[in-house]
Structure 1
Amino acid sequence: MKQPLSYRDAGVDIAAGDQLVENIKPFAKRTMRPEVLGDLGGFGALVEISRKYRNPVLVSGTDGVGTKLKLAFAWDKHDTVGIDLVAMSVNDILVQGAEPLFFLDYFACGKLDVARATDVIKGIAAGCEQSGCALIGGETAEMPGMYPEGEYDLAGFAVGVVEKDQVINGRNIAAGDVVLGLASDGAHANGYSLIRKILDRAKPDLDAPFDGGKTLREAVIAPTRLYAKPVLQVLKKFEIKGMAHITGGGITENLPRVLPENLMAQIDAAAWEMPKLFQWLQQQGQVDTQEMYRTFNCGIGLIAVVSPEVAEQVAALFAELGETVYRLGAIRERNGSEHQTQIV
């Protein structure tokens, strides 16, 4: 007689999955919003739209963390990649004027390490708290043979809501408008295939003092900044005509996504100092300056385009709310086929 087999014998531990759900419940509970109906663990999550909206439009976004996860595996650092996961989607929907409502995650691995997965999802909950977004559920998939030992993948999506007549789409941007930039907290979650190649080439001492008391390791793995709370506060008082989340493609490729075809952004490279991390990456990788601008955020995590009449007030309010703000340049008429963003 052959030995009876169980799901656990095949590599899937249901008890471990149940334990993970219990571990994360208190962290998810802290993110709850009054619109959420029911508790974590149902087959689907129920969320009603607040009655404060007259003509609500739902805005959704989805993303992952990319190859930054390879550094999390190598450095056994799992408590902040969840923040990255939330930020990559929440910042995307935010730039259309949406207030983040809820977030769901997908965590996949070959063999579930409950402690490691708990760290990851604690980070997801922290990102949701930072952005005022409810973590209402997700999926944990244990799939033997699909992933190398000790590795996992992350994906997630966010849903937000905005009044239909307040959707930010860039259509009102005009020549003469001012381009403001909000500082990033590092490389966020983009360009890590190049970062890892540079680290392999340079072989630096990752734990040596590097910048402002941080080690190089800490600077490289720093999580993505979430801009939801300050941006939503500014929108209560001022019109922002267009916003861009500076992710893959950098300033060069992301800002044109919100500009009318007949306009371009003239950005002054001297308006801000490229942070030390990016200076180090450029030097060690001998990366061309324009390649830097279209690969990394180079210190600017989010861009807002406003009319010149309110630019100083908007910048002052962002600063009051804790953001570092730069006046990057201005919008002008586009000549022929020139690129919609020039950094000079």
Structure 2
Amino acid sequence: MTTTTPGLSYRDAGVDIDAGDQLVENIKPYAKRTMRPEVLSGIGGFGGLVEISKKYKEPVLVSGTDGVGTKLKLAFELNRHDTVGIDLVAMSVNDILVQGAEPLFFLDYFACGKLHVDSATEVIRGIAHGCEQAGAALIGGETAEMPGMYPVGEYDLAGFAVGVVEKANIITGEHIKPGDVVLGLASNGAHSNGYSLVRKIMHLAEADYAAEFDGGKSLADVVMAPTRIYVKPLLKLMQTLTVKGMAHITGGGISENVPRVLPANVVAQVDAKSWTMPKLFQWLQEKGNVAADEMYRTFNCGIGMVVIVDAADADAAIATLEAEGETVYRIGLVRERQGDEHQTQVA
């Protein structure tokens, strides 16, 4: 007897093309709001086309890529998918910003085992929101449905940003000198870094995510707060005065990120008492019995971006940033380096 095998489809293998098409349709209105004049093609093509504005005489492209990390595990656990897209955009656009670049466009990569259109739409709506905050166009991306690669209900994210800066205006940190002022811009929370330690402490403390934690916000609200995007205020500052150096405080915290922009002969002396560490970090330090040095090399501890300016420009820089809605602290000074000491001292 001959057995006839039923005809199989891609859906039978776990990939739903119709769901992918629906997701593309869902996100088109959000992507449309992010468009810039330089964009020549939108969502749906094989590649995104973007021209460089004629305002640049010697344009240099600056690119960056990143993900959200294990903060996604909390998003799955709490069923909160609306802000991780903002985190994704922030990680890349803040990085290219520190070299003076204005973000032009952004692409995302969304990978899952089975595509759930509603939660994926939330994620990409967040990506579009982040792009609006950064002034970057969301010109495309990739949704990969890969059965068996991810647990049910989970996904991974990666993002890619490209910006442009006038060659003469690239910020390298090379002109930073003793006496320069170190400014700190407040963070929104833990942003997207250190979440492996955050989750471990939460587990050991048997944290109640629904409980009121800070200012009427639940612990879930506080721990899932999206990464602050500093693009527009800092672009405004760069148009106003000379910014000598900037550091996006991501993995490695204040201690390990600030040295990345410093010349070899100087140290940034940071006064930890110049700002109040937000309640989330105080709680994490207490519940995890985390040493102070470990806090400053793991978390942003309330400072999401560091800006270094000449002492004569410090007051004007603070005024400009505060007028743009930022909370700014004078957190330290640049001094001469002694021997091979670590280039950022937090005390």
Bin for the TM-score computed over the shorter chain: over 0.9
1:145 aligns with 2:148: yes
1:81 aligns with 2:84: yes
- Write the mapping of 1:148-159 to structure 2, written as runs, cut at 5 A: 148-159=151-162
Q: For the residues of structure 1 that align with 2:275 and 2:146, how far apart are their CA atoms?
A: 46
Q: For the residues of structure 2 that align with 1:265 and 1:258, how far apart are their CA atoms?
A: 10
1:196 positional shift: 0.3
Q: Which residue of 2 aligns with 1:164?
A: 167
Q: Which residue of 1 aligns with 2:281?
A: 278
What letter matches 1:71 in structure 2? L
1:205 positional shift: 2.1
Please list the CA deviations of residues 252-303 of structure 1 after superposition, one character each: whole Å capped at 9, or x if unmatched. Answer: 0000000001111001111101000000000000000110000000000000
Q: Which residue of 2 aligns with 1:91?
A: 94
**DSSP 3-state at the match of 2:15:** coil
Q: Which residue of 1 aligns with 2:39?
A: 36
Q: For the residues of structure 1 that align with 2:298 and 2:221, how far apart are their CA atoms?
A: 20
Q: Which residue of 1 aligns with 2:62?
A: 59
1:213 positional shift: 1.7
Q: Which residue of 1 aligns with 2:322?
A: 319
What letter matches 2:101 in structure 1? A
Q: Moved runs in structure 1, 4+ residues, more than 6 A?
A: none
Q: Which residue of 1 aligns with 2:333?
A: 330
- Write the mapping of 1:78-227 to structure 2, written as runs, cut at 5 A: 78-227=81-230
1:65 positional shift: 0.2
Q: For the residues of structure 2 that align with 1:213 and 1:305, how far apart are their CA atoms?
A: 34
Q: For the residues of structure 1 that align with 2:218 and 2:118, how far apart are their CA atoms?
A: 25
Structure 2 gap ranges (5+): none
1:39 positional shift: 2.4
Pick the aligned partner of 2:244 from 238, 241, 245: 241
Work out whether residues 41 and 139 of structure 2, in 8 Å CA contact, stay in contact via their aligned partners in 1.
no
What letter matches 2:68 in structure 1? V
What letter matches 2:177 in structure 1? A
Q: For the residues of structure 2 that align with 1:255 and 1:50, how far apart are their CA atoms?
A: 31
**DSSP 3-state at the match of 2:315:** helix
Work out whether residues 109 and 142 of structure 2, in 8 Å CA contact, stay in contact via their aligned partners in 1.
yes
Q: For the residues of structure 2 that align with 1:207 and 1:315, how far apart are their CA atoms?
A: 36
Please list the CA deviations of residues 173-195 of structure 1 after superposition, one character each: whole Å capped at 9, or x if unmatched. Answer: 01100000000000000000000
Structure 1 gap ranges (5+): none
Q: Which residue of 2 aligns with 1:262?
A: 265
What letter matches 1:22 in structure 2? E
What letter matches 1:184 in structure 2? S
What letter matches 1:275 in structure 2? P
TM-score, with normalisation over the residues of structure 1? 0.99
Q: Which residue of 2 aligns with 1:6?
A: 9
Q: For the residues of structure 1 that align with 2:134 and 2:214, how far apart are their CA atoms?
A: 27
What letter matches 1:224 in structure 2? T
Q: For the residues of structure 2 that align with 1:10 and 1:207, how far apart are their CA atoms?
A: 38
TM-score, with normalisation over the residues of structure 2? 0.99
1:66 positional shift: 0.1
**DSSP 3-state at the match of 2:311:** coil
Sequence identity (%): 71
Please list the CA deviations of residues 163-220 of structure 1 after superposition, one character each: whole Å capped at 9, or x if unmatched. Answer: 0000001001011000000000000000000000000011122222211221111100
Q: How many residues were matched structurally?
A: 344
1:320 positional shift: 1.0
Q: Which residue of 2 aligns with 1:294?
A: 297
